[in-house]
Amino acid sequence: MNPFPTRQAAEVYLARIPDLAVRDATRARLGLEVEPAIRPAPVTVLPSRPIACQPRAPEPSPATALTFTLPFPPSLNSIWRATLVPCKPKKPGAPPWAARILLSQDGRQYRRAVRDIIRALNSPSTPPGARLALHLHVCPPDRRARDLSNIPKALEDALTHAGVWADDSLIDELRVTRGSVTTGGQVHVTITSLTATLFEVKS
């Protein structure tokens, strides 16, 4: 027999009984339905994941350098030749020819050799308009006395002709160093972009 006027009053009484077994037995004596035991909801353990953090700014990378080896260039004095070209005299009594400074055969051959090497390297080129630093490490073919200052011009013109840069006037830094004597002679070229860091490859 249930002495409580309402079910709510009975539940308040039963809630005060700490022992679950005694509480269920009392509930049965009162004629109340025994509530199913409340079980905690299963806990799903998720695999651990790294804590997301703010993306870090990429660290600056050193400027990209373009490096390759070229044949030893002809001397500055041998890449140009003077020739007489027939022309119509502009003044009475003037000779029917004019002097022209043309690229010599040695100069043309060197340009072709450099062009072929650059093409074999998949025609790399510097970023358009980038200011450049050029380092030439010169390994002469023999021990004959040579001025290093005579080396760059023929090589720079050949690289311009090969399309590595738009013009050698873009070079802001020029360094020429002498290396050991090498059979046939070589020049190790390093071009570094001062205002951009990527080199494009023509497709």
Query: Does residue 58 have a pLDDT over 70?
Result: no
Q: State the Cα–Cα distance between residues 186 and 192, nearest whole angstrom.
A: 19
Contact 26, 3 (CB under 8 A): no
Quote the number of domains for the chain.
2
Model confidence, pTM: 0.58
How far is residue 82's CA from residue 99's CA, in Å, rounded to a whole number? 7
Residues 31 and 122 in one domain: no
Same domain, 69 and 30: no
- pLDDT tens string 123-135: 999 988 889 999 9
In the predicted model, is pLDDT for residue 171 greater than 60? yes
User: Quick one: 74 and 24 in the same domain?
Assistant: no
Same domain, 2 and 70: no
pLDDT score recorded for residue 53: 40
Please give the full DSSP string across 100-148, using - where no structure is assigned. EEEE-HHHHHHHHHHHHHHHHTT-EEPPTT--EEEEEEEE-SSSS---G
Q: Is residue 30 part of a domain?
A: yes
Range of the domain at 70: 65-78+105-201
- Same domain? 73 vs 143: yes
Rounded CA separation 28/45 (Å): 38
CATH, residue 136 = 3.30.1330.70
Are 186 and 129 in the same domain? yes
Q: What's the pLDDT at 57?
A: 37
